[in-house]
Amino acid sequence: MKKYIYIISLLLISCQEEITLELPQSQDKIVVEGSIENGFPPYVILTKNQGYFESIDENTYNNLFIDADTVKVWYINDAGEKEIKLLEKIMGIDSLPPIYTDKDHLNNLVATPDIPYDFSQEGRTYYLEIKWNNQIISSSTTIPKVTPLDSLWVEKSENEDKEFKYDIRALYSDPADQNNNILLKSKRVQHYEIKREDTSSCEVINYPDFSLKLVDAGSDILINGQSFETFFPKPKDNGNPFSDRSYNADHTEICDNGDTLVFKNDIVLIKYCQIDESSLKFWRGLIRQVGTNGNPFAEPLNLVSNITNGLGIFTGYGSAYYMIPIVKDTVIFEQYTPEIIDIF
């Protein structure tokens, strides 16, 4: 029996053959991340796609951003004429990547900060056209009507044992006379942790979120015309389904050296949006993709794009913003007026 097994093993080993696969090179395509929302100029970030197995480092990342020949957005006015905005590339908005936007508007913000931006309004359909590499890349989107929340409040989390863990809840009355596709984003504009560079230290540092993060997206097909209470969890950390979904109120902790550390409460910016149908398909797909990050058994997912001759998304947002401190019994009724950096 041992001899038989040995012979079979030799046969299996001798049948091994090293195979080199010639993977096809990915074709260069433009990737668009574009948005337009009520009261703000359009913003477009342009990159090129990258092969699945290609390495990513700082140089590779920086080289992904591309220069277009022209980028413009327009709508058709009541007279049937195009109202066009030519977008220019700008750098240095906080830590954001290169962005194409209405540069004249940004230059006028300092002198006339209170003048509304009338180009972007609810109910209008906007058209995007990009000329790059002898190609025309195009898309369209609509800014839906804003449907604000009735109220938001802070209450003790039922899913966390720590006393300083709180949740954000909201009351929303869904209009019966319109189909709504809802997108929720949030970011902590204030969040204190022990110094990340040295977790053994006893220093508490403010680490606000860099940008808005996806929370959820969905349609009102099951709740059309109803008023209901809902829960706004903290976005998942890098798609980790087991990450903490609650926020921090004021609290103290004892450091290893015996010092008492004081942590201030989180302050959270909520962006509650209405989006059109094509945008909903993209963002729901992206949320599913992020939610399965790192899962080897997850089904591959192709994101649905509304970009012709390219990849990505051009989304119109009917947005309402709320700033809510994580303090017990806080209730918010009024909308927050965002600055430009808040919309990203």
The domain boundary, picked from 115, 142, 169, lies at 142
Q: Which residue has the higher pLDDT, 301 or 197?
A: 197
Question: End-to-end CA distance of the chain, in Å?
Answer: 69
Quick: pLDDT tens for 166-212.
999 999 999 998 889 999 999 999 999 998 888 778 899 999 999 99
* Tokens 């430009």 found at: 340
pTM, two decimals, is 0.87
> Could you tell me which residue, 111 or 149, shows the higher pLDDT?
149
- Phi/psi of residue 200, each to 5°? -85, -5
Q: Is residue 289 included in any domain, yes or no?
A: yes
Give backbone dihedrals phi and psi of 340, rounded to 5 degrees, phi first: -55, -45
CB atoms within 10 A of CB 1: 5
| 166 and 136 inside one domain | no
Please give the pLDDT value at position 248. Answer: 97
User: How far, in Å, CA of 32 to CA of 303, rounded?
Assistant: 13
Instruction: Write out the two tokens for 225.
Output: 């015309």
pLDDT above 90 covers what percent of the chain? 64
- The C-alpha angle 313, 302, 134, rounded to 5 degrees, equals 50
> Is residue 129 located within the same domain as residue 175?
no
Q: Into how many domains does the chain fold?
A: 2
Q: Please choose, from the candidates 196, 209, 266, 270, the residue with its C-alpha nearest in 3D space to the C-alpha of residue 237.
A: 209
What is the extent of the structural domain holding 64? 30-142
Question: Is residue 156 in a domain?
Answer: yes
DSSP label of 295: -
Residue 228 pairs in a beta bridge with 172
d(CA 235, CA 244): 9
Which of 6-20, 64-78, 125-139, 313-327 is least confident?
6-20
Domain boundary among 99, 121, 142: 142
